[in-house]
Amino acid sequence: MRVRSIRREDLPALMALASNCGIGLTTLPHHEEVLARRIEASLSSGPASEDRSWLFVLEQAGELIGVSGLEGAIGLKEPSYYYRQGLTVRMAREAGIARRLATLTLGNDLTGASALCTLFLAPAWRSMGRGALLSRSRLMFIADFPELFAAQLTAEIRGINDESGVSPFWNGLGRQFFRVEFARADYLRGTGACAAIAALMPQQTLFTDMLPPAARAAIGQVHPDSMGAVRLLNEEGLHASGYIDLFDGGPVLRGDIAQLRTVSQSQVLALCVGEVRSGTRFMLSNRRAEDFVVLVADAERVDGALRISAATLAKLQLDAHDSVRALALN
């Protein structure tokens, strides 16, 4: 089991994953042309790229079972819109009335931040730490190549919607201005229509008391399938930011990249190869931008180096004189 950079030949498997991810994972639409473009963008991203994004896949026994993504900077090529949660106090002293009113304001304040995106693991494989490996491998990539990322990292979390595609937040707000069902709006956003949809939304500050109760209750709420991902990101140092998704009202997490656990606690170590007798579990990356690999394996520190097995070395696609980034897991 390992995470690696995506390849062109992964497109059919990526399409199969997209067909099973359901409604709400906007950045993985079941649209071959869009996914092919995302693969090409991942393969061409680097220091000279204006629009940097990456896709990584989790493979086990040759089968592609999950995908995760990174954006170097959001909102530069096409605006990224969110609602900012706020509070307004209104007073009528003569009548002895004071009201604290929750508000939502449309904006793109997060422009330029880096972002975690496109996290999906096939349901049959959601055990044995696979989801954590798939998610945190992206943070290993950021730690290896910090010059490609902003100081702030965001993560848009899936909000409340059911299996039939009903989103209380969308029905109570977005659908009133962009008259399509949530599933259709979500698909259109995934194919690049977010700015067009946002243009039809009200530009003035909204008072949440004017929304239906179900829509109000969905603000900032997390889809049950995403609870585990949120706990992991909270442990890393990403927390609710006061911004929510324009479509389903899910929270946007935010944190300083330099303070994230995987970034701050991982180390670059020289390698030595041999039998690992009393090893610790480590997350290891091969520190190669174009053929990036992350896996979890037993290893042990020896005189300032890290001893790994020959099999682990081969899976990392490294030579014995290379170095790795290592994060102790126990």
Q: Which two tokens stand for residue 140?
A: 């290993």
3-state SS, residue 75: coil
Measuring CA to CA, which residue among 80, 29, 27, 70 is closest to residue 243?
80
- CA–CA gap between residue 147 and residue 122 (Å, rounded): 32
Helix boundaries (H) for the chain = 11-20, 32-44, 130-144, 168-169, 175-177, 182-190, 194-199, 213-218, 227-236, 261-265, 310-315
Q: Are 86 and 68 in contact (CB under 8 A)?
A: no
Q: Which of 30, 223, 239, 321 is catalytic?
A: 223
**What distance, in Å, lies between the first and last C-alpha atoms of the chain?**
19
Q: Which two tokens stand for residue 286?
A: 């091969």
- CA–CA gap between residue 64 and residue 47 (Å, rounded): 28
Catalytic annotation on 223?
A: yes
258 CB-near residues (< 8 Å, 6+ apart): 151, 264
Annotated active-site positions, please? 223
